[in-house]
Structure 1
Amino acid sequence: MKVKNEEALELNPSLGNSCSLIKRDFEKFILGEDHPCIMAKTVFGMDQVVMSSYPELGTEKAARQILQDLENYIETYDFETNDFKTFLAVFPDSPDFSELEFEKKLWQQLKLVHKVDDCDWDPEVSADPESEHFSFSICGKAFYVVGMHPNSSREARKSPYPAMAFNLHWQFEKLREMGSFETVRDKIRERDKALQGDINPMLQDFGANSEARQYSGRKVGEEWKCPFLSSN
């Protein structure tokens, strides 16, 4: 089933969980509860989420499908407007991951997507996950990746199914251009603190530290090393 533009949530019904259930559960998670990310609320509220489901997280089959779907997502993205759109990859039939297991699977999946992607790294960002200017590149475009799963210690990441949200790095630069980045950032952090009692300790502005540390949602120490190398 393909969902039309007026309902931009796009789901693959071939897996065990039904399209309508996945869509409803994610809408409840973002819109029906006190979710702190106002950007997520905006794109869900405006039906600006392209959502697809895949086999178990961390597989090459899923990597090829994600790459193809992100190619289509980029091709249809309107870079001339101020409207934002998120790509959400959902893995509804994955097992019940711990935070560490999810982190390993997330990076395994990203490594496999990179393996089948024949595009050069986006020159606007670094391919070195240790760099403060790192951002993950797919199809020649930089993305900020938000990992979510039911066992996350952060309420904002405790999604109904394991999932990865792909947000174009361009969107954050657009917010800066519009003069809205700091306002949006501060509002999200304020809401996150109200929800959980503290701000996500991993969140930092782009250029302050590698954003790779933020992708899985797990709190990591200074000794943490990203398992991804673009040369792999």
Structure 2
Amino acid sequence: MGVLLGGLGAYIENKYKNERNEIEQKLLSLEISGSIGKVIDSFSDDLGFLSKSLNYQRVSSINQILLKLNEQIHSFKKKYPREKLKTDQFEAISKQCNIIQQKLIVQNSVNEIFQSPPPAINGSTVRKDIVIEYNVDIKTIDSINIDIFEEDNWKRVIKGLLREAKYQIKLINHAEEVINDCYSGDKVKPNISKKKYEEINKLVNKIKRLSDKVVLKEKLKEIERNIELSN
């Protein structure tokens, strides 16, 4: 009986050691010098910009590894409640990976509100000649939330892109409003001055989205013709 109990005790002890060793090896892989740590570290740079090659599949595959490890840790703690595991690095890495995933979602959403290719932001490369997409409005822009992120260069660039998108939308809306105010139904109102026409024309010239510019330019032509006829 003693031999049997001794054998059972040895089996339990070995099982405990194997489980602990497996978890600790996986935790070590999360260190900066570890295999998974290196992969996660490659997802972004020191300024907060995401890697150009980063995609959902790569982040998701790492998240799956972290999820399984989290389940292992919880299972181990449940079996051996008195045993301690150093999981600080795991928790920090999990948080880092989650932030990267959220950044990727936001970055892709921002790229979708601008005409492409190339994307508005890719890695630390930011386009200057950006034009908003045709189906974008203020509500679409406001739905992109970046408040959850700490301030870094990436966030500052994203803020700038969202500001530019809003500016372009507001410019189009303002130009439409000013031009429509020159019309009564489908007819140009009388007494529209040359000066007002020139001011509106300058406003329309600032518009980057071609479809809107073409429509507004046509309306401006009618205003110009009306001014010429009245002189």
**Which is richer in strand?**
1
Larger radius of gyration: 2
Q: Report which structure shows greater RCO (CA 8 Å, sep ≥6).
A: 1
Short-chain TM bin: under 0.3
TM-score by length of 2: 0.21
